[in-house]
Chain A
Amino acid sequence: MAGNDYLTQIVTRILIYGILVLSVEMCWGQTGIFTFGQAALFGIGGYVVGLVTTKSTITDIGKLLLVAVIAGALVGLVLGIFLFSGKRVGELYVALVTLAISYICERLANSWTLLGSGNGIPGIPYPTIFGREIGSAMGLFFLTFAVFAIALILCIIIVNSQFGLTMNAVRDDEERAEFFGYSRSVVQIAIFVFSAALAASGGALFAVSEGFVSPSMSGLALSTTTVLWVVLGGRGTFYGPLIALTVLQVVNIQMQNALPSLWPILVGFMLLVTMIFLPKGLTSLPAKIRESRRKRVQI
């Protein structure tokens, strides 16, 4: 892989989007918070790193990640309190509000000169670790892989703890959970903040590995695409959406050149077919086949 920077960059980008997918899976797949706003938080992480590195001399990746995570978590906290601290709100309401937030963030990034307007923030320097620059594609890959691995392990630990069961209880019947004594809003806010921090860390890695940030990284298209990966892969698992992301990213590169105008339509069609025939995503396909075989044997 060392000799092939292009491939390394693709894998790095997949890992970065993988962190974004984890944040959506924690929110929607595990807790039932149907969010379309993760790209906004991803963008906040990226822009914070863009501003810090271009307006100061800070390039230490630890500090950059910390600043991005804090910024993402704070925005997530404010949004979480706004969305979940009052009465129960429906999935659709959360989806629409977070969709609007993504739209606002993209418009803001497009028009605010401090954020570089439509050009974004170019010239983000390579990050450093213990004073040494991470300037190679391979170095950035290892950095991203380390952060992705930590994020994935954290998510797995949380989901497999007793708190994971609480998240699922809120996802499956939040009113019932309240009647058991759960503080539904605290659970939802906690997960929203955690996944906001995850998304922001992904954005920070995107900024340092790509060397620029632009309005599109916080916009509707990325938010929707992330949800699409989770839908295709199957919400409720980590591996399904991650596989869907990887496959679609790889195929995307080939198809964008071969069928530039037809490819987005094909993706839309795939999504439609999956939602109709496999509402639990492609990971539910083996179980579905087993079930139909069992029924056939019974007949």
Chain B
Amino acid sequence: MKLLEVKSVTKKFGPLVAVDSASMFIDDNEIVGLIGPNGSGKSTLLHTICGRTFATEGSIYLKGSDITTKTPQIRAKSGMAIKFQLARIYLEKTVRENLLISLQAKESIWRQLRSASLKAFEVKISELAKEFQLEEYLNEPAKSLSHGQQQWLEIAMAMAADPILLLLDEPTAGMSPKERADTASLIKKASEKCGVLIVEHDLDFIKELCNRISVLHHGNIVATGTPTQIENDPKVKEVYLTRV
């Protein structure tokens, strides 16, 4: 059984077809990249997978369960976690509180009212902070972090939920080369625990990291293969690589 299966998904906005019968899959612990020129439908496809928008046609399965029409909340409870293109963290809250927000999301209101899981989560918070190099900022507000650290915090928040599938929308946007290298190793480590789907512009970054890459053009997946296959695919060169 595939971890994620996207079957002939089409997304229309009125007469505009943003994604046209796209199919792809991700296996457990696999890192899959989704690339394509601006306006190719990458973000729309990612949004239909995470539940921000619903597919007009087609189906999406997570571990065999049909999640096509499920809300983001149900998808999250099924094991899906996302890092958005622009880090959507709680800027006024401390790093610790941000991690706690993610950790306690599936707790009942009653347990939250009694702060019943606070002690248990402290251990997890320390582990995550160490893993994502945020240890010394735990009590700092998230707005005081650098751009790269904010991106890491959001990935840490996504990983806090122990997801089975991690969706990353341009995780290295605006990062320095050092931060990009660190992010790559963080994603590699994350893939030991879950499958990862990365939407990226940076081909150099994605080809070193991914097991497979899908190329989207005008809403269609025009090629899927290993990074080497993609680099040598004449169709990909024509529609995408020459435009990068």
Contacts and interface: CB of A to CB of B under 8 A. Distances in A.
Q: Is the interface of A mostly helix, strand, loop or mixed?
A: helix
Closest 8 CB pairs of A and B: A181-B76, A163-B112, A180-B105, A181-B105, A162-B112, A176-B88, A178-B72, A169-B101
Interface residues on A, range: 20 to 34
A168 interface: yes
B104 A165 contact: yes
Interface of B: 50-52, 71-73, 76-77, 81-82, 84, 88, 90, 92-93, 97, 100-102, 104-107, 109, 111-118, 157, 161
Interface in A181-200: 181-184, 186-187, 190
B54 to A, nearest CB: 12
Contact of A181 (B50, B84, B106, B117): B106
B142 to A, nearest CB: 11
A162 B115 contact: yes
Given A162-B100, A173-B90, A182 B105 contact: yes
Contacts of A162: 100, 104, 107, 111-113, 115-118
Contacts of A257: none
Contact of B109 (A163, A177, A179): A163
Contacts of B84: 176
Given A162-B107, A165-B97, A165-B100, A183 B73 contact: yes
Contacts of A161: 112-115
Given A162-B104, A172-B90, 6 more contacts: A162-B117, A163-B113, A180-B101, A180-B161, A181-B161, A183-B73
A178 B112 contact: no
B73 A181 contact: yes
Most buried by A among B92, B93, B97, B104: B104
A178 B126 CA distance: 24
Contacts of B71: 178
18 contacts: A161-B115, A162-B113, A162-B118, A163-B112, A165-B101, A166-B104, A176-B84, A179-B51, A179-B72, A179-B81, A180-B81, A180-B102, A181-B76, A181-B77, A181-B161, A182-B73, A183-B73, A186-B109
B90 A180 contact: no
A170 B130 CA distance: 27
Contacts of B92: 172
Contacts of A172: 90, 92-93
Nearest to B73: A178
A162 B110 CA distance: 10
